Amino acid sequence: MAVVQAFSETTRVRAALNLFGVLALGGLLAGYLDQPTPALQSYLYAWILFLVLTLGLLGLTLLAHVLKAQWTRPLLRIFEAGGGAPSLALMLVLFVPILLQLPRLYIWADPEVVKQDHILHLKQLYLNVPFFLGRLTFFFAVWMLLAALLRRSSLRQDRTGDPAERDYRTNLASGGLAAFCVLVTFAVTDWVMSLEPHWFSSVYGIWFLTQMAVTGLAFATAVLLLQANKRPYAEEVTPKLLKDLGTLMFAFSMFWAYITLSQYLIIYSANLPEFVPYYLHRSQHGWQALMWVVAALQFLLPFFVLLSPAAKRNARIVLGMVLVILAARVVDTFWIVMPALRHEGFELRWTDPVAVAAVAALWFSVFLGQLRKGALVPSYLPSKGADSHASH
């Protein structure tokens, strides 16, 4: 039986993606020349959307090396390809246009605004452009180093079969995961929370970490299941794996709902003027519709569908569910980012989809290129115990 190899023909696809990405960026540039600030807002949204995905995949790479679980095996290379150093480098490069126009998006970078705002004046020690740049460089440097070391070791074990590589990765990833979580907290504070610089929420880092976990797992599962009838995934996608992935998707979604709701409940109940505007703004002027869409797609639907063990063993249902969850992520990120910038109420501009398409095309081009560099499923098993079992 001739089973097609997954991702065997990517060269032309990548070229097309690159071309499309550059064209879309050109369209966005046209939008920028017409109305700079709205176009930049669209671009920032697209950047954050893919940042969450990239970091989610990096976090799951780290988690996979710590847990050494069976279900990570067919997903590992997808995690590595999307959360690797090249994807991070792309995200870093794509941040340059935002850096060039920082005050248009981040009001704390505008000296005129800071002069008239006592709180921002006090925050200048942290929220100032040079320090912001330094932190940005540091975050990306650490993430890229972690991703590169793990990826190299993982590919090396494919060639040499040396099991010592596994222990090395586990040790590196244990400390790396702790560092990753702390750095993500500070990073999203810088890049997302500081869009509304008066507001803060101490669960913000964990909230974004759960968003990243949900996005990364849903994305990797979608890639796997869309190629499920091709080599080498065909042998890997068993009802057992599907059930594990369905259960994890369920658990991650519920944890996301838990963090999201408890942050809302705490701020709602305290009703303090420093905190409550965040939700007041996001629950009226049309933004509330997005909130309900996200609640339905990210919580209600996965809850009732993935509760059933039979549904979790059905590849089509699991695939449908992760696609729904990815759609929810697109809406949710819009709901988190855009109300901070568009104060007149809900508004969708033509530059929004163009920006997303541009970043997506370039991102997928890097992703596909990375997937090709190495076996799609590692030749070794995630843990020693599994090795000895397999040899029986």
Partner 1 sequence: MSHAIEVTQGPKVYGYIAEFEEPEQLVEAARKTAEAGYRDFDAYSPFPIHGLAEAMRFKDARVPWIIFVCGIIGAAVGYGLQYYVTVFDYPMNVGGRPNHSWVQYVPITFECGVLFAALGAVVGMFGLNGLPRPYHPVFEAKNFERASDDRFFLVIEASDGKFDPEGTRRFLEGLGPVEVNLVEAEEV
Partner 2 sequence: MAETLTKPHDEEPLIEGNQTYASLTETVAGVVQRQKEHPKSWFVAFVLGFGLVNVLLLSITYLVYMGIGIWGNNQPVAWSFDIINFVWWIGIGHAGTLISAILLLMRQEWRTSINRFAEAMTIFAVMCAGMYPLLHTGRPWVAYWLLPYPNILAMWPQPRSPLVWDVFAVSTYMTVSILFWYTGLVPDLATLRDRVKNRFARVLAGMGSLGWRGSAKHWMRYEQAYIILAGLSTPLVLSVHTIVSFDFAVSLLPGWQATIFPPYFVAGAVYAGFAMVLTFMIPMRRWYRIEHLVTMNHIDWMAKIMLTTGLIVFYGYIVEVFYAWYSANPYEQFMMWNRWKGPYAPAYWLLIVCNGVIPQLLWSKKNRRNLSLVFGISLVVSLGMWLERFIIIPVSLHRDFLPSSWGMYYPTIWDFAMFFGTIGFFVMMMFLFVRFIPMISIFEVRELWSRIRPKQPERREVGA
CB of 25 to partner 2, least distance (A): 34
Q: How many helices (H) and strands (E) does the chain have?
A: 19, 0
Task: Using CB under 8 A, count the residues that bind partner 1.
Answer: 7
Contacts of 190 (CB under 8 A, 6+ apart): 132, 135, 136
Binding partner of residue 244 among partner 1, partner 2, none, CB cut-off 5 to 8 Å per kind: partner 2
Q: Which of positions 224-253 make contact with partner 2 (CB under 8 A)?
A: 240, 244, 247
User: Taking CB under 8 A as the rule, which mask of x and - marks residues 195-234 in contact with partner 1?
Assistant: ----------------------------------------
Binding to partner 2 by CB under 8 A, coded x per residue (else -) over 352-391, reads: -----------------------------xxxxxx--xx-
From residue 142 to residue 171, the character string flagging contacts with partner 2 as x (rule: CB under 8 A) and all else as - is ------------------------------
Report the site for partner 1 in 45-104 (rule: CB under 8 A).
none
Residue 280 contacts partner 2 per CB under 8 A: no
Return the closest-CA partner of residue 256 out of 212, 292, 290, 191: 212
Nearer to partner 2, 213 or 362 (CB): 213
- Give me the count of residues in the chain: 392
Q: Does 280 bind partner 1 (CB under 8 A)?
A: no
**If binding means CB under 8 A, how many residues of this protein chain bind partner 2?**
46
Per CB under 8 A, 265 contacts partner 1: yes
Contact in structure between 278 and 266 (CB atoms under 8 Å) = no
By CB under 8 A, name the one of 174, 271, 284, 288 that touches partner 1: 271
Among 261, 289, 300, 375, binds partner 1 (CB under 8 A): 261
132: region left, alpha or beta (phi > 0 left; psi from -120 to 50 alpha): alpha
Is residue 68 near partner 2 by the rule CB under 8 A?
Answer: yes
Q: Which of 168, 264, 277, 331 binds partner 1 (CB under 8 A)?
A: 264
Which residues, at least 6 apart from 339, have a Cβ–Cβ distance to it below 8 Å?
A: 281, 282, 287
Question: How far apart, in whole angstroms, are the C-alpha atoms of residue 139 and residue 142?
Answer: 5
Query: In a 3-state reduction of DSSP, which class is residue 5?
Result: strand
Minimum Å distance from CB 52 to partner 2?
Answer: 19
Give min distance, CB of 281 to partner 1, in A. 17
CA distance 385 to 163: 12
Task: Cis check for the bond before 232: say yes or no (omega within 30 of 0).
Answer: yes
Which residues does 53 contact at the CB level (< 8 Å), separation at least 6? 82, 212, 215, 216, 219, 363
282-321 binders of partner 1 (CB under 8 A): 307
Q: CA of 78: how far to CAs of 67, 222, 282, 380, in Å?
A: 17, 10, 34, 16
The binding site for partner 2 (CB under 8 A) comprises: 67-71, 119, 122-123, 126, 174, 178, 181-182, 185-186, 189, 200-206, 240, 244, 247, 254, 258-259, 262-263, 265-267, 269-270, 272, 274, 381-386, 389-390
Give the footprint of partner 1 on this chain (CB under 8 A).
261, 264-265, 268-269, 271, 307
